[in-house]
Structure 1
Amino acid sequence: MTNEQHIQFLIKQADEDFGATEALFQAGYYGQSLFWAHLTLEKLCKALWVYINESQNYPFIHNLIRLLKECNNELSDEQKLFYAEMNQFQAAGRYGDYLKKLESTVTLDVCKKLITEVKNQMLWIKQQMENE
């Protein structure tokens, strides 16, 4: 698989994961929805990493801020706060006790706000791959 094929594969996976994000949101599973939203962003960050670094050996990490830093992207303060908040959800789908604790803080409005920003960041990350 070429780097470009790998990038397209990750983007396709991210778009499919975002479909799961929306379905879980509609079903009222807000914590799980945000876990899948994190996966969406993680796959796009890894696609960007492949694009920038011209290598398919992206780091096997879940930290969105660290992935973006390794792409030499400057994040605004708002983006740093958003990605830090989203990083909380990478563990939510893996550890049931953590999910229960986190779910109690995720309301409909909080989830809706975060998903709206996920959409914005999906576009931003994809644009980074067009602008290089």
Structure 2
Amino acid sequence: MTKEEQIKHWITSANSDLESAEILLLSGKFLWSLFIGHLVIEKALKAHYVNLHNETPPKIYNLIRLSKLSNIELNEESSDFFDRLNMFHIEARYPEYKSDLEKICTKEFSEEMFKRIREKLLWLKSLLK
């Protein structure tokens, strides 16, 4: 794949995952919506990595680390948000953490997180232009 094809692949996949996360949110599957929401941002950051390095992104999932590797400057709000979103990638996978996360994932909390995921995706896509 060319660099442009790889970038398109990551962004197309992020957009598709955003739709899936919204479906999960609307069906009350709040934890899984945010798990997929993490993937949305991860994939957008991996598009930036490809854009900068012209190579396959590393198989890492920490949004702060991916931002640094992609030369994306995060303000404090974005850094805090990405840090919070990181917990949904790892902890949602393990039963011992899952019940704690489900307590956090109220409808209101999840809707606000999803709104911010959508905003961050739009921001990251705008930086690619």
TM band (smaller chain): over 0.9
Unaligned runs of 5+ in 1: none
Unaligned runs of 5+ in 2: none
- In structure 2, the partner of 1:48 is 48
TM-score in terms of structure 2 length = 0.95
- In structure 2, the partner of 1:117 is 116
Residues 64 and 87, structure 1, Cα contact 8 Å, conserved in 2 = yes
Residues matched between the structures, number: 129
Residues 91 and 98, structure 1, Cα contact 8 Å, conserved in 2 = no
- In structure 2, the partner of 1:34 is 34
- Following superposition, the deviation at residue 54 of structure 1 comes to 1.7
Please report the RMSD computed on the Cα atoms of aligned residues, expressed in angstroms: 1.1
TM-score in terms of structure 1 length = 0.93
- In structure 1, the partner of 2:80 is 81
Letter of the 1:109 partner, please give it: E
1:77-102 Cα deviation digits (max 9, x unpaired): 00011000100110244223322221
1:34-80 Cα deviation digits (max 9, x unpaired): 00000111111101110111222x11111001001111121110001
Letter of the 2:80 partner, please give it: L
Secondary structure of the residue aligned to 2:11 is helix
Secondary structure of the residue aligned to 1:104 is helix
Identity %: 34
Letter of the 2:86 partner, please give it: N
- In structure 2, the partner of 1:126 is 125
